[in-house]
Amino acid sequence: MNAIISATDLASDLAGENPPVLLDVRWQLSMAKATGEPPFDGRAAHAAGHIPGAVFVDLDADLAGPAGAAGRHPLPDVEHFGAVMRAAGVSADRPVVVYDGGQGWAAARAWWLLRWTGHQAVRVLDGGLAAWTGERESGETSAAAEGTFTPVPGSVELLDADGAAALARSGLLLDARAAERYRGDVEPIDRVGGHVPGAVSAPTTENVVDDGRFRPAEELAARFKSLGASGTSRVGVYCGSGVSGAHQVLALAVAGIPAALYVGSWSEWSSDPARPVATGAEPQ
């Protein structure tokens, strides 16, 4: 199954005999504490208008555990995640489509978690809600019937800090953050700037075109090949906290390249003073 779906194909599937479960995971990385602005409210955005039938899922509450030593968005409690998915109508034998406001990061996080916990038929709406030209409904939607999905972790590869460090030397570890954060020029969130020694800079923003849709698979494959994805070595990805990194894993999947996600990412790595930090444009 392709990892993404166009808005046109989604409309067709929704009108079919086995329509997918729709999950709305609108979310933004909030700098509200630093700027004094109110944080983004995904639930309010969902209530204001969403694809008919879509159920809202909260990334911070449902797709991540409490922030701490394991990072800003560590893995959620599996039992809680399963309960949220069932409440949203998710079952193993029914396809799922996830979307967000258009950036794709939050939708990719839900996509990755569902894959990691064993769901075999989940896709991301390419371009997010912005790509949807059909009608919308307002108010908060509940699933028509509770699903039966039981998460079984481990269906796709997961990296911890030690695994990421090893992969940076033995394979290819991609850093999905902006290049200036990779270099250590700026660090607006975490304790220290820089990157995992040996990691290669690969901003996830370069995987999409201006409207947020993914570049064609052949372009993505060429990009990742130029970064060192040879087709024989293992590939891993990290970002700031395991959200934009999931989007990079999704882009790799579109290109036909399996990749592991280091969920703790830089927020976990940089919180431990014993972990080495590289700076500058080169992997080192």
Report pLDDT for 165: 98
Point out the least confidently predicted range of 71-75, 177-181, 230-234. 230-234
Alpha carbon 282 to its chain's center: 25
Q: Is 239 part of the annotated catalytic residue set?
A: yes
Report pLDDT for 30: 61
* 210 burial level (CB within 10 Å; 0-12, 13-18, 19+): exposed
Report pLDDT for 32: 45
- Sheet with 122-125: list strands edge to edge: 4-5, 122-125, 96-99, 21-24, 55-56
In angstroms, rounded to a whole number, what is the distance separating the alpha carbons of residues 48 and 179? 35
Closest by alpha carbon to 17, among 85, 94, 90? 94
- Sheet with 235-238: list strands edge to edge: 158-159, 260-262, 235-238, 172-175, 200-201
pLDDT, average across residues 32-44 = 74
β-pair partners for 260: 236
Report pLDDT for 232: 87
Under a CB-based contact definition with an 8 Å cutoff, are residues 152 and 117 in contact?
Answer: yes
3-state secondary structure of 173: strand
CA-based R_g, the chain, Å: 18
Torsion of CA 33, 23, 218, 203, to 10 degrees: 10
Report pLDDT for 28: 87
Report pLDDT for 196: 98
Point out the least confidently predicted range of 166-175, 186-195, 219-228, 236-245. 186-195
Phi first, then psi, for residue 80 (nearest 5°) are -65, -45
> pLDDT band at residue 225, thresholds of 50, 70 and 90?
very high
pLDDT at 54 over 70: yes
pLDDT at 9 over 60: yes
Report pLDDT for 36: 64
> pLDDT band at residue 231, thresholds of 50, 70 and 90?
confident
Report pLDDT for 20: 98
Report pLDDT for 43: 95
pLDDT at 106 over 80: yes
Segment 129-157, tens digit of pLDDT: 999 999 999 998 998 899 999 999 999 99
Point out the least confidently predicted range of 26-30, 161-165, 247-251. 26-30
pLDDT at 195 over 60: yes
* 197 burial level (CB within 10 Å; 0-12, 13-18, 19+): middle
Q: Any idea what the Cα angle at residue 150 is, between residues 121 and 161, rounded to 5°? A: 80
Task: Give the end-to-end CA distance of the chain in Å, rounded to a whole number.
Answer: 37
pLDDT, average across residues 68-89 = 97
Tell me what percent of the residues of the chain surpass a pLDDT of 70. Answer: 97
Q: Which amino acid is at 97?
A: V
pLDDT at 258 over 50: yes
> pLDDT band at residue 34, thresholds of 50, 70 and 90?
low
Which of 75, 239, 255, 263 is an active site residue?
239
pLDDT at 49 over 90: yes
Helical (H) or strand (E) element with 268 = helix 265-269
Report pLDDT for 35: 60
3-state secondary structure of 32: helix
